[in-house]
Amino acid sequence: MAKMKLLVARKFPDDVLARCGRDYDCRFNPEDHTWQGAELCKMAAGMDAVLLSSRNKVSAEVAAGMPDSVKIIATFSVGYEHIDVPACAQRGIIVTNTPDVLTEATADVALLLLLVASRRAKEGLNMVVKGEWRGWTPTQLLGRQAGGHVLGILGMGRIGRSLAHRARALGMEIHYHNRRPLTDDLAEGATYHKDAESLLKVSEFLSIHCELTPETDKLLDAKRIAMLPAGAVVVNTARGGIVDDEAMIAALKSGHIAAVGLDVFNNEPKVHPGYFDLPNAFVLPHIGSATIETRNAMGYRALDIIDAYFAGRKPKDALAG
Ligand code: 8YV
């Protein structure tokens, strides 16, 4: 039987590409172009399925322009705000994502950012590599200790809960806000706040783990940043759009926010240049899920779903259109 045709829209890790090539008749993207708009539709011509990343936007227009042959679009990501799922559904295209498999890797990066931001790692690194370190002093680079302080988790889903496990090991007290409180077994003693504002008021450390939706767009604006305790540390590994950069930069300059650790940005790969010169802004290039184990697992999960779909089974991570 002829293999189904798969557009492999990014240069995914080698093992993922190898499995694609073994099981499907593939159109690959060895140069790793970020196909967008009409070009993405053109590359999908004659394909049965598309495996793409969060940098391949599937707007309503792209969904409308997808060839009739495309039955399923699997995004190599847990976030899917780059895909107009209802517009795909209108075309009869199933959309799936890759939850679960990147939870631990992303929580690791949230913890990493929490620690490097609060322990002033950027200033320390700069001091050493610029040859400006004159030796230990009793008051050099005093940061904030995580243990004994409140960590507010905005969005207590899989990644938020996984960070909570790590933070408990540091001795942090966990508070969270979600649309609904978790069951006791999932909350594991964390304190629920029914609105974001109530959470912000107690969050000496804040880590963002909610989805980017019209409701959370710029949720952390000047007004809400001002609600955080003076000297708070903020971490974002979710989506850049949840933070108002201008307001955050102003708060970092004034010292109201002691430090920020960011892995995600508005308009990636552009980063607001206001963060670059700030000693208390530690930025990473969206590496939350960037371990070989996790990226392979993301690819395998997406391929499992496509395999199941073409074997006539219901794809398990299908998103509601
Ligand atoms: C992915 C992510 O690596 O899965 C997500 O939602 O944010 C990242 O960790 C990226 O989006 C790849 O498509």
pLDDT in tens, 76-125: 999 999 999 999 999 999 999 999 999 999 999 999 999 999 999 999 99
CB 118 near ligand 1, within 6 Å: no
Confidence of residue 320 (pLDDT cuts 50, 70, 90): confident
- For residue 1, name the pLDDT band (cuts at 50, 70, 90): confident
Q: Does the Cβ of 289 fall within 6 Å of ligand 1?
A: yes
Which pLDDT score, from 0 to 100, does residue 321 have? 67
Predicted confidence (pLDDT) at residue 158 exceeds the cutoff of 80: yes
Task: Give ranges for CATH 3.40.50.720 in the chain.
Answer: 5-101+292-310, 103-283
CATH, domain range 103-283: 3.40.50.720
Q: What mean pLDDT is reported for the chain? A: 97
Ligand 1 centroid, distance to 159 Cα (angstroms): 13
Please give the helix or strand (H or E) that residue 111 lies within, else none.
helix 103-118
Catalytic residue status for 239: yes
Options 3.40.50.720, 3.40.190.10, 3.40.50.150, 3.40.50.800; which CATH number does 5-101+292-310 get?
3.40.50.720
Neighbouring residues of 158: CB distance < 8 A, sequence distance ≥ 6: 99, 100, 103
Token representation of residue 74: 């699997």
What distance in angstroms lies between residue 142's CA and the mean position of ligand 1's atoms?
A: 34
Give the separation between CA 198 and CA 270, rounded to whole angstroms: 32
Q: How far apart are CA 44 and CA 8, in angstroms?
A: 9
The model scores a pTM over 0.75: yes
Query: What does the pLDDT look like over 208-232, one tens digit per residue?
Result: 999 999 999 999 999 999 999 999 9
Q: Distance between CA 288 and CA 207 in Å, rounded?
A: 13
Catalytic residue among 239, 272, 295, 301: 239
Is 266:287 a contact under the CB 8 Å cutoff? no
Contact 52, 75 (CB under 8 A): yes
CA 78 to chain CA centroid, Å, is 8
pLDDT at 226: 98
166 is an active site residue? no
pLDDT per residue over 28-41, tens digit each? 999 999 999 999 99
55, 78, 317, best to mutate for ligand 1 pocket (most atoms within 8 Å of CB): 78
pLDDT bucket at 318, cuts 50 / 70 / 90: confident
Q: How many residues are given for the chain? A: 321
Please answer whether residues 131 and 180 qualify as being in contact, where contact means their C-beta atoms are separated by less than 8 angstroms.
Answer: no
Q: pLDDT (tens digit, 9 = 90+) per residue, 132-156? A: 999 999 999 999 999 999 999 999 9
Helices (H), 119-233: 121-129, 158-169, 184-187, 196-202, 222-225
